Amino acid sequence: TIYNFGSINLDHLYQLDHFVRPGETIASSSYQCLLGGKGANQSVALAKAGADVKHVGAIHHSDQTVIDQLESFGVDTGLINRIDVPTGHAIIQLTKEAENSIILYQGANHALTEEQVDQVLSQANAGDWVLLQNETNLIEYIMRKAQENQLKVAFNPAPMDAELTKQVLAFVDLLIVNEVEAMDLIGTTDIDSTIAAFPTAYPDMAVLMTLGKAGVCYFTGKESDQENTEEMLSVKAFSVEAVDTTAAGDTFIGFCLFSLMNGEDMTQAITRACAASAICVTRLGAAVAIPTQDEVTAFLAK
């Protein structure tokens, strides 16, 4: 089982000729309301990969549609609290040039309580995984309790907060970052020097770094991960025609974690996750763009 303490958002998407200017009112001819949030996307990816995923979080009690959507993808929603705080949401303006401008309201995503965390973790079994992103509250508390309960912790510090991330690394078994997050953590603006700096800066950390269409790098802490003895791996991305990279990273994380939980080695897990995210970028949208495990198997067989 994997417990994903993650954000759930409703994304309100408006397509416009240009962004709203100060004092201006624009009537939008298009509107879509979609399930979003890195947490929810990663739960959907895990579920589509085949994992037993329990999403832990909160939404406003009127937003049953969120629960229905998550369940339609196979996510266990029994640990999502329905409270009197607005569901986290994003107001997204999209222009024809595919630029976006976003207002984010964290709302119920920051309403986790220590009691809720304790109650959830008391039902987990040693060896279960806990997954976190950086869109919810109580990150350090959850990780500390997870470690006390002998659970494995995967952390995707997105959006990156370098100070918080460094503070909690001792609780993390697997860190998953993209290029921008990796550079923020090292404090450089160049990806090659970031990759070179990582193993020295974090010698005891197992780190997966996704590099967009360039693929994935993996560094393993020398002592932390005995099953994966290689100290560094590099896997190329699949060559596809990308139309929308939304949720590529979330898809990667869900499929990679599922494979690792199922006993595949790191190279196999990364390859399968790269295939899943390659399919994802050929489709529009977030949750709906994430493939199923069968689709990934078919893609790899080609």
Nearer to ligand ADP, 154 or 274 (CB): 274
**Segment lying near ligand ADP (by CB under 6 A), choices 24-32, 60-68, 138-146, 209-217:** 209-217
Q: Is residue 127 marked as binding?
A: no
Looking from the CA of 32 toward its CB, the CA atoms found within 13 Å total 11
The pair of structure tokens assigned to 25 is: 């009112």
Cα dihedral sign, 54-56-61-64: negative
Of residues 211, 264, 268, 292, which one binds ligand ADP by CB under 6 A? 211
The pair of structure tokens assigned to 95 is: 């222009």
Which residues are part of the catalytic machinery? Answer: 250
Q: Is residue 151 marked as binding?
A: no
How far is Cα 154 from Cα 53, in angstroms, rounded to an integer? 14
Contacts of range 225-228, beta carbons closer than 8 Å, 24 or more positions apart: 227/265, 228/265, 228/266
- Name which of 169, 126, 166, 116 is nearest 146 in CA terms: 126
CB 212 within 8 A of CB 242: no
Question: Is residue 7 close enough to count as binding ligand ADP by CB under 6 A?
Answer: no
CA angle centred on 120, ends 119 and 123, rounded to 5°:
95
Measured from each CB, the residue nearest to ligand ADP is 249
Where in 243-272 is the site for ligand ADP (CB under 6 A)? 245, 248-249, 252
- Name which of 250, 269, 245, 247 is nearest 258 in CA terms: 269
Of residues 120, 160, 195, 274, which one binds ligand ADP by CB under 6 A? 274
Of residues 5, 238, 255, 258, which one binds ligand ADP by CB under 6 A? 238
Of residues 69, 109, 165, 178, which one binds ligand ADP by CB under 6 A? 178
Question: Is residue 92 close enough to count as binding ligand ADP by CB under 6 A?
Answer: no
Of residues 278, 286, 289, 290, which one binds ligand ADP by CB under 6 A? 278
**Segment lying near ligand ADP (by CB under 6 A), choices 11-19, 58-66, 131-139, 239-247:** 239-247
How far is Cα 268 from Cα 116, in angstroms, rounded to an integer? 35
Q: What's the closest the beta carbon of residue 147 comes to ligand ADP, in angstroms?
A: 25
Question: Is residue 86 close enough to count as binding ligand ADP by CB under 6 A?
Answer: no
Strands 30-36 and 76-83: unpaired
Residues at the site binding ligand ADP, with contacts judged by CB under 6 A: 178, 210-213, 215-216, 237-238, 240, 242, 245, 248-249, 252, 274, 277-278, 281
Detail the residues annotated as belonging to a binding site for K(+).
244, 246, 280, 283, 285
